[in-house]
Chains A and B, each alone.
Chain A
Amino acid sequence: MTIAADANESAIRTRALRMVYHPGLMQRSKVALHSLNLDVPRASIYGFLGQNGAGKTSTIKILVALQMASAGRAWIMGTDVIHPAARQHIGFMPENPYFYEYLTAIETLVFYGKLSGMHGPSLTKKADALIEQFGLKQSRNTRMGEFSKGMRQRLGLAQAVLHEPAVVILDEPMSGLDPLGRRDIRNEILALRDRGCTVFFSSHILGDVADICDRVCIIHKGQHVAEGPISALLNQKVVEVEMAFSGIGPEGLPRLAEQARRAWHDGRLYRLLAADDDEALRLRAEAEAGGGTLRAMIPHHESLEEYFVRVTGEEGELKLLLDRAAEAASKKNAPVEGEKAAEAEEGAPAP
Chain B
Amino acid sequence: MSVWIIALNTFKEAVRDKILYVLTVFAILLILVSRGIGWVSYGGELTVTTDLGLMAIWLFGALIAIFIGTGMIYKEIDKRTLYTILSKPINRWQFVLGKYFGLLLTIYVNLAVLTAVFFGYLAMVGAPVTLALGQALALTFVEMTVVTALAIFFSSASTPVLSAIFTFLLFTIGQLTKWVVDLGSVLQQSAPWAEKMLLALYRVMPNLHNFNIRQEAVQAHELHKALAISPGETLNVVLYGLSYTAALLLAAIFVFRRRNF
Contact = CB atoms under 8 A, between A and B. Distances in A.
B17 to A, nearest CB: 10
Interface string A88-127: 1010111011111011000000011011110000000000
A156 interface: yes
B90 A115 contact: yes
B86 interface: yes
A93 B81 CA distance: 11
A84 interface: yes
Interface string B161-185: 0000000000000000000000000
Contacts of B80: 94, 96-98
A87 interface: yes
Contact of B88 (A93, A116, A156): A116
Contact of B89 (A84, A99, A111): A84
Nearest to B79: A98
A85 interface: yes
Interface string A71-88: 000000000000011111
B260 A115 contact: no
B203 interface: no
Contacts of B5: 111, 114-115
Interface stretch (B8-16, B112-120, B187-195, B210-218): B8-16
Contact of A117 (B12, B16, B85, B89): B89
A94 B83 contact: yes
B243 interface: no
A112 B84 contact: yes
Contacts of B260: 61, 66-68
A92 B5 CA distance: 19
B76 to A, nearest CB: 9
A65 interface: yes
B72 to A, nearest CB: 13
A67 B86 CA distance: 10
A198 interface: no
B2 interface: yes
Contact of A100 (B81, B88, B90, B258): B81
B8 to A, nearest CB: 9
Interface residues of A, number: 30
A100 B9 contact: yes
B77 to A, nearest CB: 10
A65 B16 contact: no
Contacts of B86: 64-66
Interface string B231-258: 0000000000000000000000000001
Given A114-B5, A115-B5, A90 B87 contact: yes
B41 interface: no
B64 to A, nearest CB: 18
B153 to A, nearest CB: 21
Contacts of A67: 260-261
A14 interface: no
Contact of B81 (A64, A86, A99): A99
Interface string A278-292: 000000000000000
A223 interface: no
Interface of B: 1-2, 5-6, 9, 12-13, 16, 79-91, 258, 260-261
Interface of A: 61, 64-68, 84-88, 90, 92-94, 96-100, 102-103, 111-112, 114-117, 156, 159
9 nearest CB pairs, A to B: A92-B87, A64-B87, A115-B88, A67-B260, A94-B83, A87-B89, A88-B89, A66-B261, A84-B89
